[in-house]
A and B are shown apart, each in its own frame.
Chain A
Amino acid sequence: MNDSKKNPHSLPAEVFRQILESLDDMVLVKGPKSKMLWANRAFREFYGMSEEQLHGIIDAPFSNPDHTQQYVEHDNYVYESRKALDIPREPCTRHDGVVRQMHTVKSPIYDDAGRTVMTVGISRDITDRIEGEKLKEEQRAHQMYSDRLQALSAMAGGMAHEINTPLSVILTLSDQLREIVEERGFDRDVFISSTKVIADATMKISRLISDLQTFSRESAREKFDLVDIRDVVNMTLSLCRQRIQSKGIRFDVTMPQKNLIVNCSRTQLSQVLLNLCMNAQDAIARIPSPWISVEVKDSENKIEISVTDCGSGVPLEYREKIFRPFFTTKDVGQGPGLGLSVSRSLIQGHGGTLEYDDKAANTVFRVTLPRVS
């Protein structure tokens, strides 16, 4: 290194040496055939060897031979390609036998004629960083698990309540019916009224179970048809328009004047739309001059159906929870709180999405479906 003669601003070679010696990253210079020429202090300490001991060897005797083989292959690549090689992670055995993970960059060093005469490898020990990330990942997984457990126990509580109430009805009435018959024989009126209520209660439980089943895809598989989405929307809205308008709510529908074909289950899609409209109706019950609007839009390969009501959006603290099963803001007795979670699951079964639009000024729920034509 006689550069100081050519360039007066250049530092003396001894300064470069001290810089290299002061680094915590390991620096290793190798000649042809992967033979070590020089290593900085960090490398020597890692290998527990002196400059003299390192000179001329390919690797330390305590290194894993497979690893050594890999280093040599990398060296050859750099030699032949004349390009730097970034190795994001490679194992390296320390003098005490502990294997550490390194991030290494190997670069060629050229002579005046541009030939590769040496390689220099710079390695940083990333073991602690990797372990830190692993720990963080484990903590995140643990947190997710306990969140899920919490959601599950809330769901179990809601479910218990929803099932135990009709069960109490069934148990009380059937037992009473038996007692009445034992006491005074068959009573037609009591029999008819009791069994009717028992059947209702049973249906309530049955509906709950079928709602829950839609969470598993298998049971939600219904026959899909190619239909014009506008027919489904019209048919569904005709079911609820009367009910909504009778509550003094303005109800607007806008749809493009052309066929919008989707592959869907009419009943499922209709169930979702009905649910969104009923949610909207319930949400704005106490707002003056209320309105709901349903808009169908087509955009490229998608069809969007938005149900908007005049409310000012879902309160911040509920946004994360509204799609969870058994979450409800409605009064008890107004359904178990499965509407949105079941709806979302049905729409996902169509390859679509159901989202709450948190950027809109009013309350907007949007269904997106893949379009066929």
Chain B
Amino acid sequence: MLIVDDDVHLRDAMALAVQRKGYQVMGAMSGNEATALLKNHKVDIVLSDIRMANGDGMELLNYIRAFVPTPPSVVLVTGYSDFTAEEALRVGAAAVIAKPFERMKLIGELDRIIGYERFEKKSA
């Protein structure tokens, strides 16, 4: 999967979290960087912040829907709830997650999207 966020700490934290659950991760710090990466790499999921300079999450979503031959699922992360979340789902985002999010909710959402059932989770 590809994680796109301009906050380096959050990007690293999210990458670490999903890596530990078995996802392979690439990172990008802007929508523009992400579109460049998508030209040469095939990913299943794009996890992106909505609000970024140099190509925000919505632009990235629209780009993926329009130009990527086998489009990955797009999960958008939003810092505050407003109409963009609804708009994102309407134009084809697989999910919108509001910050601050719990790690296992994020993982659960990603698992659901790729159709993976995780039996080991939250036993304790």
Q: Do A and B bind each other?
A: yes
The residues of A with any CB-CB pair to B shorter than 8 Å are 156-157, 160-162, 164-173, 175-176, 179, 182, 197, 200-201, 331-333
Docked pose: A331 CA to B6 CA in angstroms: 10
- Contacts A161-B51, A182-B124 given; does A176 touch B7 at CB 8 Å: no
Known: A157-B80, A167-B100, A168-B100. A331 touches B10 (CB 8 A): no
* Cβ contacts under 8 Å, B54 to chain A: 331
A-B interface, 5 closest residue pairs, ranked by CB to CB distance from nearest: A161-B79, A160-B80, A164-B99, A331-B53, A167-B100
B17: chain A residues at CB < 8 Å are 172, 176
Q: A172-B14, A172-B17, A182-B124 are in contact. Are A164 and B100 (CB under 8 A)?
A: yes
B33 touches A (CB below 8 Å): no
**Closest Cβ–Cβ distance, residue B60 to chain A (whole Å):** 14
Complex contacts, A332 vs chain B, CB 8 Å: 6, 51-53
In angstroms, Cα B77 to Cα A164, docked, is: 11
A160 to B77, CA, bound (A): 13
Interface flags, B18-33, vs A, CB<8A=1, else 0: 0010000000000000
Residues on A with C-beta less than 8 A from B124 are: 182
| Residue B91 lies at the interface, judged by CB distance under 8 Å to chain A | no
Question: Chain A residues near B52 (CB, 8 Å)?
Answer: 332
Question: Which label, helix, strand, loop or mixed, suits the secondary structure of the A interface?
Answer: helix
Point out the residues of chain A lying under 8 angstroms from B79, CB to CB. Answer: 160-162, 164-165
Q: Least Cβ distance of B5 to chain A in Å?
A: 8
Report the count of interface residues on B (CB-CB < 8 A).
27
Residue of B nearest to A171 (CB): B100
Contact A200 B9 (CB under 8 A): yes
A selection of 23 A-B contacts at a CB cut-off of 8 Å is A160-B79, A161-B79, A164-B79, A164-B99, A166-B7, A166-B9, A167-B100, A168-B77, A168-B101, A170-B100, A171-B100, A171-B102, A172-B17, A173-B13, A176-B13, A176-B16, A176-B103, A182-B124, A197-B9, A197-B13, A332-B53, A333-B6, A333-B53
B68 contacts A by Cβ under 8 Å = no
Which residues of chain B come closer than 8 Å to A160, judged between CB atoms? 79-80
Determine the residue in chain B with the shortest Cβ distance to A200: B9
B80/A172 in contact, CB under 8 A: no
Contacts of A164 in B (CB 8 A): 79-80, 98-100
Binary flags per residue of B95-120, CB closer than 8 Å to A gives 1, else 0? 00011111110100000000000000
